[in-house]
Structures are given as structure tokens and as C-alpha cells.
Chains A and B, each alone.
Chain A
Amino acid sequence: MKFTKTLLATTALTMAAGVAGAQDMPNEMTIVSWGGAYSKSQLLAYHEPYSEKTGVTILNDESSNEAVAKLRAMNEADNITWDVVDVVAADAIRLCDEGLAMEIDPDTMLAPADDGTPASEDFGDLLVSDCFIPQIVYSTTFGYRTDLVGDTPPTDVCDVFDLEAYPGKRSLEKRPINNMEWALLCDGVAKDDVYDVLATDEGQNQALAKLDTIKDSVVWWSAGADTPQLLADGEVVMGSTYNGRLFSVIEEQKQPVAMLWDAQVFDLDGWIIPAGLSPERQARALDYIMFATDTQRLADQAKYIAYGPARKSSAPLVDKHAELGIDMAPHMPTDPENAKNTFLYNYGFWADYRDDIDAKFQAWLAK
């Protein structure tokens, strides 16, 4: 363990000096991601071009769901079998806090933009943790059944709380994050005050009281695929989920569903490299990251899935969908038309309050 740490430090130095030779790196690596359409988009945009360029065999593992727990277990067993892991930003922060992910220096380890802008500037504020390499911006937002909402489709997130105008079930995620913010917003709290209010006991009760008004009409989901299924089956009239899932329901499966972009919550997904890899494997992981997060590659991914690239320089390169041939830009959560009213997931707040508010939320659910 100590020995590897020493080696790690030395490698980091050599890496920075740009001396690491490609011949030392292993020809096989394990990349962990979420599976489904998302993994497929990464396969087409990153893995295949990288394999072609370097001859490396990439093994896919679909364990991102439990990446944090598994990485901790691997670290305790001192046997890390993953090389690069796709996680949401909140998990990356947790992994960094626990010392399970390696710290990244964006300017030496990530490619600059095509015009030479250093990576730290190109990613900007999205570098929310020292260990996190952002990949996409996605959002959690609402979709609704166009045939079940009457003549006036919902345009405001507060329509979710309006049982009179939009009777029927709605699906919400079975966790406090996002739901509490929407509840407060629709209970008259100004957007800028939401987290200050939510930090207090009264504010938490206020949010739960607002959610209480629709509790009997809510189906709670825990997997991203639930809301699309519930919408397609007509089980719910509206529901929250990730925008890419809704895109596939609307454009690929042609279901009578439309997007409600109001008060969508931006979140980030990206890569981390586990701490404690051997220097050779770490060099390989960094080489992959350097390739897979450059401007063109991030823009390429948007051809296959409706998530926005995390680099500013990638946005103008976003193209048409590879199979459907439709323009992808208007389907990006970051498109100005869609992003009129947005939240950015408040990582600092939820890192502090998640345990506490989750306990209250679960107690409220069980009541």
C-alpha cells in the first residue's frame, strides 16, 4: 500500500513531465459505467475510437450504481480491479473525501481545447471536485403524457403539485434531493433562498408539508427506467426522470410524451480514476481520459444520447443524432430555450444535509 503510494507519487511526477512511455502501459483496461443506452454512447464515442488508435482491449463493467461502495470494498481489500469509473458528481465528491479517487490536475492531465484554452478554463465551474473529470451535463426534469393532460399542457414545475388542473398520478424519485427543492419553490420560496430555507428544520417541514399535498398521488421511483415505463403504460400523467431517458421515450419510441423543462435540475456525470492503481495502469487510465474527454470526443457522445457535453468548446460541435438524423442541440438540457429556469444540483449542501434530510424523508414516506 505504502509502496504503491510512493510509486504513485513518482508516476504523477513523471506523468507531469510527459515521460511515461506507452510501451509500459497494460493493453487491457476495465471501464465502469451505467449500462444501457448510456454505455452504448460511450462505446461508440470513446471506447471504439480509443481501441482503434491504441489496440487496447476495453472491458465494460456496469456497476456505476454501486461504484462508491464497491470501490471502498476494493480499497479495503487492496485489490482494485477498475481503471476508470463513471460516476455522478456527488459520488465523485464522496469518493474524493474518502480518499478512494485520485486527484486530477486538469491542466496537465486533460487535453486543452482546440484553440488552446486550458482544460481548467474549458470545464470551468463544472470541476466540482479535485478528483472529478466532468463528461456530460444532464438534467432531472419532468415528462408528461400529452394525451392525458387536457388542452392546456403543463408549463410550470408547480403544475406537478396541482392535482385539480392535472389529476392523476405523478412519479417522483424516492429520495429527498430535487423533490424538496421543487416543493419549496412551489410553496412560494424564492429560488435563491431555497437552500437557506432547506437548511432549517422549519424549511424541511415546509417542503414535506408541500409534498404531503400530493403524497397519495405519487408513485416513487428508484431506477431511471421507471418513469419512462410508467409514462408509456399510462400509469402516471407526469413524472421526473433524466432528460436522456425522456428523449428516448419521445423520439425513439414515439410515445405521446412531452418535456416540461421548467426548473430542471442540472447535474454532472463524469470520470474518476481510483486511488491506488499501479503506475502502469494509472498511466493507461490517464491516457484514456486524456483522449476521451477532449473537445471532439465529448461532442461526439451527443450524437448518441441527449446529454450536453461538459466542455464549453464542445457545444458548437454538437451534431445530428447518428441514427434518427434529428438535430440534437434543441434536445440538450443546456439549450437556451430549455434552460430558461434551471437549478444546479447543490453539491455542498447535499453533502452536508443528505444523511439528515434523507432520514426525515424516509420517516415521512413511511408515515
Chain B
Amino acid sequence: MSDVTQDGPVLAADGTPLKKSLARALRVEKLRALALIAPLLIFVLVSFIIPIGSMLFRSVENQIVGNTLPNTVARLNAWEADDDALPPEPVFEAMYYDMFNAAEAKRHTRLGSRLNYEASGMSSLFRQSGRKLDDLGKDYLKDMRAINAGWGQAGPWYELMSGGEGAEADRDFSKLAVGRISRLEETVLKPAEAFAPSVEIVALLPKTAEAYTSFAVYEGLVEGRDVATRKPWETVYPALVQDLKAADVSGFTGAGADMLKELAGNIGQFEAPNFTQVMAEVDDDWSNPETWSLIKAHSGKYTNGYFLNAIDMQRTPDGAEMQPENKRVLLTLFKRTLYMSLAITGMCVLLAYPVAWILANLPARSANMLMILVLLPFWTSLLVRTSAWKVMLQQQGVINDVLVWLGFLADDDRLIIINNATGTIIAMTHILLPFMILPMYSVMQTIQPTYLRAAKSLGATNWTAFWRVYFPQSVPGIGAGSILVFILAIGYYITPEIVGGTKGVFISNRIAYHISSSLNWGLAAALGTILLAVVLVLYWAYDKIVGIDNVKLG
């Protein structure tokens, strides 16, 4: 007692305050515990949360449009979407250059597939446009060659654009191009190694410099070739014509000045490109304002379009709208998934309860035998069991044959119990039954038989004793089993696919379709996110109503 003062803190044996010493000890304990679970935590994080998170992120991610057509998207922002009027010429100009670069990098078809989810025809529009864009540049090149053969060669172009030996390079201009190509290729390229045009050329021929730098960055950094020996892409020719129409090159003295001045002197014989017309010649759909409103509506970096699609709506230039009646199916499937999963859970409770009760009340030896019978199907392949149900339930199957043989059914009036909702419910109830029996069984095992006897000796009937004494104690098992079965059922895929026909398929079948067939991963991710949210909400509701503490797995 001597080391405890009346108002000072309680001290530990080594003189530090007891509170501090205790906290330190606890902290060490906590760190040790954390270190022990660290492997699991890291495993779960790396193998579960990050992949699922990145998959779910796809439901809002939409950078492909902006990455593939950066300038077009920027210029479309200023355009008011209109179903009757085309966007102005600068938008078409940007589209020509963007699309050409994307086609060189073979990214335009990916964008086409992406936009085809929103409107039919975009896929082939992009695929075919990519092939036809060369013509414009080739025509100009032919005429330029007639003036000076150097325009069709790699060396003179490189000299002109780089400004020759000792010219000051415009690194910032080059960095922008590297950024654009990096986003197009979805990779990180190093701007330091990239080609940079001379400051003088950028000021004099901005469009040509941009077209040439895009080409040079792609050839140099992506393909790893020596730019000085490569002929530029066809985009530089229309760009050069545009620039020469606007610029005065008489004062230019850098590398290639003679060639450039010669061309500038003859520029009158070239017609400035009209990109609106060029694109219209590539494909009629480019002169349809709807094509442009569609691109504008889906040009954001992030989109709610996939979520809207997932609930039978669509994103339009005028905001969200319901899908046309004949395309609405996903909400129906969500509802069907929910109520059929509930029905399956209910069936499982009804069937599993008596089985679990018998298992819990038999002597250990026979209980073990029965337990093996419960587990045996559990160990059989899911596909085998589902296919076996097909043999049982089909119209020429075992059940119908027996019923017909017994005379309960006429031969031409056989029951239809497969390829519909009934088939799914029967097969899934069977497959999920062990998940209900096992938690029920382990909870029932812990219920003392003496309670029932006590209730009866106090005058309760069999029913009252069961309902008032036994049943309430078995509820945690029902709760645990129901949650397990319901959550498993809601995401089931293979069984509904095989025995569900058209009326017994779940939303997960559509998710599988979009993952593996249509490759619309954004929509699949949105559907998956909604499904996850529904489960979490139901779990929360269950916790509020029944209480999650009331769930026991054993």
C-alpha cells in the first residue's frame, strides 16, 4: 500500500503507471494476434477482396470511349446532342484522326463491341470504318509525290518534323502524345524516350506535328521501331494540307524548308479536307446524328449505363429511360430468382426438419449410418446429380413411366415436371438439402431430451411440448440452415441451366451469358453487384427481425 498515493495513478511493479503498462501489454497481445491472422488476412485480401472489387468496379468503369477517341469526346462535350443535326466539322475532324490512330493500334474494334451493347450496328461500323480511313491520305500523297517524291519517304519527314540536328525539341508536346497513346494501349509508356517534334514545327504546323508525333510515339515506343526509317501514317497528309492552308511558311528556314515551301507554293491545287464528307463516304451511319448522340451519351469516364441496363432501363442523351417492352427481362429474372430461392429454402426446411430430428434422436450407431446417407449425395458431382434428375423427371422418364404404368396417368397426358420452375425447385431442393440438415442436426443434438420429458410431466400434450419447448430451441438451426441455403440458391447457375427450361432460369444464367458469351462484363458486374446488395439487405433484415446471434451452426 505504501507505493499507492491517494490521488496519483496506480503504479505497476516497475514504477510505470499501471494503466500504461497494461495498455502496452495489451498492444503487444494485439500485435501478436494480428501477426497470427496476417497470412489469412493477406490471403483473403489478395485472392478475394481485390479481384471481386475490381470485377465490381467494371460495372461503372467506361474509360474505353475517352481513351480511344480522346479529342472527339472533348469536342463532343461542347455539342448539344440533337437528333436532327450533325455535330460541327471539328468533331468529324477529331474523329478521323482519333479513329485512324485507334485503328493502327487495333483498338477501334474493341470500342465498336463496347458501343454495340448500346446500339446494334456499331460493331461493324467501327470495324469497317477502320479499314477505309487510309484512302483520304493516300489520295493527297499521290499528288504531293508528283511535286516532290520526298513526301512519300521516311527520311525527309523525320528531318522536317524533328527540325534536324540541334533543333529545340518540344517535350511537352511529345508528352501529350505519349499520354494519349498510353491510354489507348492501356499501358504506361516512358515520355523520355519518345520522339519530340521541334518547337518551330509545332508552332508552324500544329496539326501535322500532332499527327506525326502520334505515329512516331506509337512506332517508337509500342512497336519498338526506328522512327527515322518508317513512313508516316496517312493522317499526316490531310493534316499538312490543313496546316499549309492556314500557315505562312515563307520565313521558315529549318530542315526540309525547301520541300515545304515548294509544296506551300502549290497548295492551291489541293482542296482542304472536308471531314464530314470523308466520314460520310466511309459509312452512311456517320451522317446519322443518332450515332453521335450515342457516342456522346456513353463518353463519360464512369457510367451508370450498366446499372440502368441491369434494371431494364437504358441511358439515352435525354437521361434514363425504360427499355422497350420487348427487351425487359432482367427485373423479371431478379424477382424470379428471389421467390424461387425462398421457395427452395422453404421446401428444404420442411424436408430437413424431420430428418434432422430423427438423426439427433437415434442412437449414435444408426444415426451415423443415416448421416452417411445424407452426406453421400453431397459427395457426388453436382452435374451427375442434376443429370440424374433429368432422367427421373422427363416426360419419358422414370416418374412418368411409373405413374403411367400404375394407371394414374394417361400415356398422352404425362406430367411436365422438368424444363420449368418445378424442375428447378425439385432438383435444387435435393442438392441443397444437406446444407439445411447439417446445421439443424448439430443444433438439435444440443437440446436436452429432459426438457421435453419435463414438459410432458407438467401436463403438456405432445404437440404443446414440441411447439412450446422443443421448436424454439431448434430455431437457431433453422436460421443458420435457411441463410446458407438461400444464399447458395440465389447464386445457383448450373442446375437451373440444365433443368430450368425457360421458366426456371435465374439471374445468374444471364450473368454467365454476359461473362462468357456476349463479353459484356460491365453488365455482368452490375448484375452481380445488385445481387450482392440484395443478399446484404436481406441479411440485414434477417438480423433485425430474428437476430444474427440467434444463428448457430452447432
Q: Are B396 and A351 in contact (CB under 8 A)?
A: no
Q: For the complex, what is the distance from the CA of A96 to the CA of B113, rounded to whole Å?
A: 11
Which of A120-128, A189-197, A302-310, A355-363 contacts its partner? A355-363
CB distance from A345 to the nearest CB of B (A): 15
Question: Which of B123, B394, B513, B518 is in CB contact (< 8 Å) with A97?
Answer: B123
Q: How many A-B residue pairs have CB under 8 A?
A: 104
Q: Are A5 and B223 in contact (CB under 8 A)?
A: yes
Which of A66-74, A136-144, A251-259, A317-325 contacts its partner? A66-74
Q: Are A9 and B109 in contact (CB under 8 A)?
A: no
Q: Given the complex, which residues of A lie within 8 Å of B332, measured CB to CB?
A: 366
Q: Is B510 an interface residue (CB 8 A)?
A: yes
Question: Which of A5, A97, A233, A366 has the most C-beta atoms of chain B within 10 angstroms of its own C-beta?
Answer: A97
Q: Are A220 and B120 in contact (CB under 8 A)?
A: no
Which of B137-145, B432-440, B495-503 contacts its partner? B495-503
Question: Which of A2, A72, A235 is in CB contact (< 8 Å) with B189?
Answer: A2
Binary contact readout A196-211 vs B (1 if CB under 8 angstroms, 0 otherwise): 0001000001000000
Q: For the complex, what is the distance from the CA of A65 to the CA of B326, rounded to whole Å?
A: 29
Q: Are B327 and A359 in contact (CB under 8 A)?
A: yes
Band of interface residues on A: 35 or more
- Which A residues between 223 and 271 are near B, CB-CB below 8 angstroms? 233-235
CB distance from A55 to the nearest CB of B (A): 33
Q: Are A234 and B516 in contact (CB under 8 A)?
A: no
Q: Is A354 an interface residue (CB 8 A)?
A: yes
Question: Which of B110, B117, B123, B127 is in CB contact (< 8 Å) with A99?
Answer: B110
Q: Is B242 an interface residue (CB 8 A)?
A: no
Q: Given the complex, which residues of A lie within 8 Å of B112, measured CB to CB?
A: 97
CB distance from B181 to the nearest CB of A (A): 11
Q: Given the complex, which residues of B lie within 8 Å of A6, measured CB to CB?
A: 223-224
Q: For the complex, what is the distance from the CA of A242 to the CA of B399, rounded to whole Å?
A: 30
Question: Which of chain A's residues has its CB closest to B185's CB?
Answer: A2
Binary contact readout B75-116 vs A (1 if CB under 8 angstroms, 0 otherwise): 000000000000000000000000000000011011011001
Q: Are A205 and B224 in contact (CB under 8 A)?
A: no
**Chain B's interface: helix, strand, loop or mixed, by majority?**
loop
Q: Is B329 an interface residue (CB 8 A)?
A: yes
Question: Which of chain B's residues has its CB closest to A349's CB?
Answer: B124
Q: For the complex, what is the distance from the CA of A363 to the CA of B377, rounded to whole Å?
A: 35
Q: Are A220 and B326 in contact (CB under 8 A)?
A: no
CB distance from B528 to the nearest CB of A (A): 14
Question: Which of B123, B222, B394 is in CB contact (< 8 Å) with A2?
Answer: B222
Q: Given the complex, which residues of B lie within 8 Å of A99, measured CB to CB?
A: 106-107, 109-110
Question: Which of chain A's residues has its CB closest to B391's CB?
Answer: A233
CB distance from B68 to the nearest CB of A (A): 12
A68/B106 contact (C-beta < 8 A), A5-B222, A220-B502, A352-B123 known? no
A351/B502 contact (C-beta < 8 A), A66-B516, A98-B110 known? no
Q: Is B519 an interface residue (CB 8 A)?
A: yes
22 CB < 8 A contacts A-B: A2-B187, A2-B224, A5-B222, A5-B223, A66-B516, A69-B517, A94-B519, A97-B109, A97-B110, A97-B123, A99-B109, A99-B110, A169-B395, A219-B501, A220-B419, A233-B397, A355-B518, A356-B119, A357-B120, A359-B329, A360-B326, A362-B329
> Hey, which bits of chain A sit against chain B, CB under 8 A?
1-3, 5-6, 9, 65-66, 68-69, 72, 94, 96-99, 169, 174, 199, 205, 219-220, 222, 233-235, 348, 351-360, 362-366
Known: A97-B110, A352-B116. 8 other contacts (CB 8 A): A5-B222, A6-B224, A65-B516, A68-B519, A169-B395, A353-B121, A359-B323, A366-B333
